[in-house]
Chains A and B, each alone.
Chain A
């Protein structure tokens, strides 16, 4: 029997694992460790980033094969790209007779609703015959996840869709917080299997099983949705961009969850990231083979993920302060 057939389920469908979780929950860290440990076997990884920048894939090079969908979040703008990618994958597998992949692992962007993706696949006449959702794993940050679940509708939807919940960074939260997160998760997703992980590895965590779930904060009612905002770097200088960004983060850091940028320079591709309000030192990224149809703008931009930001104002500020010639 060909390995391709062994790998598949009794009904011939290829298992699909969806890994989801809010921005900064630690999806890539967890996945990197799990793939290294062989949890998913020979997996084809699909990494989706709402920020349209293929950066996280660098952490996941241990997978059997890897694909990045960076054209928007797969639960909305990038849904067609995900569908095309899955259809092509299934068609390619039909032609393979030797050892092949055992499953597909989809790492969604932090802004994706895993439930919406699962629903779209199960309703798709073609994909539903070819793929079976094996499990939906949702990662939740022990330190900030509890508040996100009760205050961010998206974070709550992610947890509601989970079959397996992994609470990350338990060591960074005190017992009271761990207990509150566990109770909140139990309340929203009573059927889900809940475990804890530190740097991707499973750990035991001490918590009070009788704690009360967190409740919605009234201050959070007016929260606007979190959105990615993209700026083309064009010929902006690295230092100019960093200077502008540091000012934006000092003024608006509470509303900006994440910043990522990739910039082409004579020294190679540079990665710029912010962690909370701080701009990190630049890292040099390995060169990626560029497809012929990829313009340089696709590899030369900055993305801010935040809420309550006026996109026009952001673009105007970017033009006025960073792009204008000296």
Chain B
């Protein structure tokens, strides 16, 4: 459980600059991804999470980008 919480913390740090957030209810496998519009998507794994998040904000979730690093 602690491991899932740690993962979720890092995931949310990465999603925050894009206005997205993720939630792990600890029961179902995978994560729930929330868009600012209220849209909610259940994703099975990390790779799917980043792809789905990129689709929701129409821009790749790139940890090296200006947006992620707060440079812009």
Contacts and interface: CB of A to CB of B under 8 A. Distances in A.
B interface, over-half SS? helix
Interface in A28-80: none
B47 interface: yes
B63 A248 contact: yes
Nearest to B66: A313
Q: How large is the interface on A (under 10, 10 to 19, 20 to 34, 35 or more residues)?
A: 20 to 34
Given A251-B61, A251-B64, A313-B69, A237 B6 contact: yes
B6 A321 contact: no
A215 interface: no
Interface in A236-260: 237, 239-240, 242-244, 246-252
A316 interface: yes
A84 interface: no
B64 A309 contact: yes
Contacts of A280: none
Contacts of B69: 313, 316-317, 320
Nearest to B54: A250
A180 interface: no
B61 A250 contact: yes
Interface in A274-326: 277-279, 309-310, 313-314, 316-317, 320-322, 324, 326
A279 B47 CA distance: 9
B7 interface: yes
Interface of A: 237, 239-240, 242-244, 246-252, 277-279, 309-310, 313-314, 316-317, 320-322, 324, 326
Given A244-B63, A309-B64, 5 more contacts: A239-B7, A247-B62, A252-B62, A279-B47, A317-B68
